[in-house]
Amino acid sequence: MKVLLVMGTSAGGVGAHVRGLARLLDGAGHHVVVAGPAEAAERFRLAEHATPVPLEVTDRPHPVRDVRAVRDLAELVRGADIVHAHGLRAGALAVLAGTGSPVPLVTTLHNAAPTGRVTGTVYAGLERVVARGSDVVLGVSADLVARMRRLGARRTGLAVVPAPPFAAPARDRYAVHAELGIDARTALGVVLARLAPQKGLDLLLDAHRDLGDLDLLTVVAGDGPLRAPLQRRIDAEDLPVRLLGRRDDVPDLLAAADVVVSSALWEGQPVGLQEALHAGAAIVATDVGGTAAVVGDAAVLVPGGDPVSLSRGIRDVVTHGGVRDDLRSKAVERAAHLPTEDEALAAALDTYREAGAG
């Protein structure tokens, strides 16, 4: 089967998911083409598992570029057995490109749409286009699925977003603490997040203003557009938070963590928290989007946007070994029930058949 994956600009989860899906489909013997920005193809090394085709899909609507993208995409659609678009913008363009074509379209929504006065109106229109023009609409969280159903989607479902196979740590807690230059008795908080507004990292910094009495350092593994303003605030307020940038030793950090924190304002099926569960970490997370569905009872969940509750959750885990050990035990148990890559591949192929792919 020839599968056309369509994506827009991505620096994080969407690109990683597309790469993983391309790898699984390619490994199962399917011919995979990925249409999307050239920089995304390079960042996620899509050529290793698919044929990348440059397609200009930007973050925001642009009449001239979008008309060109629809025209170019229509050519690719005609040669595919199934089209699978990722993201609202990519999905809307795929709907327009496939107008009059018998090739079925699946769209996966990975994020909640913006809610500003102008952008909210534009994206609400795109949501309706995707809901009514896709053969199947998947969402990474139940709230996205429910919204698409209300907007008239014929078939909907929950996307399966597995974490990549978890690697065993290469270093122990003491080696990680030594690298970070902290005492072995200092508690270590770990955050896996892109430095972007959705991750609520200002909330994390707000919470740390109430944790100054603890011997605690929190490190953030990830990069993004908010790095400079976050660093300025950390420096100005002398907060015990360190921005590490992109890391290739995430298993080591998770194994050394006393607490793993997510301060996100919204999440789908957060891969970082899935990795933390596989590592048997004690988790404190905001109860937003699909987070609760991922972690179950293996985390302290606090209301989104509430720094006081977040700081209390962190304090409880850091200062009470019994709470920490209980969460670690529950994490290991929960990890055994997370979706695997085999299940993700099977779910994708089932959805393609449901959409009408031969």
pLDDT value at position 9?
A: 86
Measured CA to CA, the distance from residue 74 to residue 66 in angstroms comes to 12
Type and span of the H or E element at 312: helix 307-319
Smallest CA-to-CA distance from 109 within 88, 126, 128 is with 88
Q: What is the number of H-type helices and E-type strands within the chain? A: 15, 13
Residue-level pLDDT at 116: 65
Output the DSSP codes for 216-236: EEEEEEB--TTHHHHHHHHHH
**Of 163 and 269, the one with more pLDDT:** 269
State the Cα–Cα distance between residues 179 and 350, nearest whole angstrom: 46
Cα-Cα-Cα-Cα dihedral sign, residues 64, 69, 70, 72: positive
| Position 62 pLDDT exceeds 80 | no
Mean pLDDT in residue range 337-345: 94
Of the listed ranges 7-21, 27-41, 296-310, 333-347, the one predicted with least confidence: 7-21
Contact 327, 335 (CB under 8 A): no
The answer to which of 65-74, 112-121, 307-316 has the lowest mean pLDDT is: 112-121
Between CA 354 and CA 358 the distance in angstroms is 10
Q: What is the pLDDT of residues 124-148, one digit of tens each?
A: 889 999 999 999 999 999 999 999 9
List the CATH code of the domain at 2-162+340-355: 3.40.50.2000
Q: Count of CB atoms within 10 A of residue 164's CB? A: 14
Q: Is the pLDDT of residue 63 over 90?
A: no
Query: For residue 119, what pLDDT is reported?
Result: 67
Mean pLDDT of the chain: 94
Question: Stretch 155-179: mean pLDDT, rounded?
Answer: 93
pLDDT of residue 30: 97
Q: Supply the pTM of this predicted model.
A: 0.89
Q: What is the pLDDT of residue 251?
A: 96
Write out pLDDT tens, residues 178-211: 999 999 899 999 999 999 999 999 999 999 999 9
Return the minimum-mean-pLDDT range out of 116-120, 174-178, 247-251: 116-120
Strands 259-262 and 241-245: unpaired
Q: Fold match between 2-162+340-355 and 173-335?
A: yes
Query: Which pLDDT score is estimated for 11?
Result: 73
Q: For position 69, what pLDDT does the model report?
A: 93
What number is the average pLDDT over the span 164-168? 85
Band (300; pLDDT cuts 50, 70, 90)? very high
Please write the tens of the pLDDT for every residue from 233-250. 999 999 999 999 999 999
Class in CATH terms, 173-335: alpha beta
The confidence band for 302, taking pLDDT boundaries of 50, 70 and 90, is very high
* Domain ranges for the chain: 2-162+340-355, 173-335
With a pLDDT cut of 70, the percent of the chain lying above it is 98
pLDDT classification of 118: cutoffs 50, 70, 90: low
- Rounded to whole angstroms, the Cα distance separating 175 from 179 reads 6
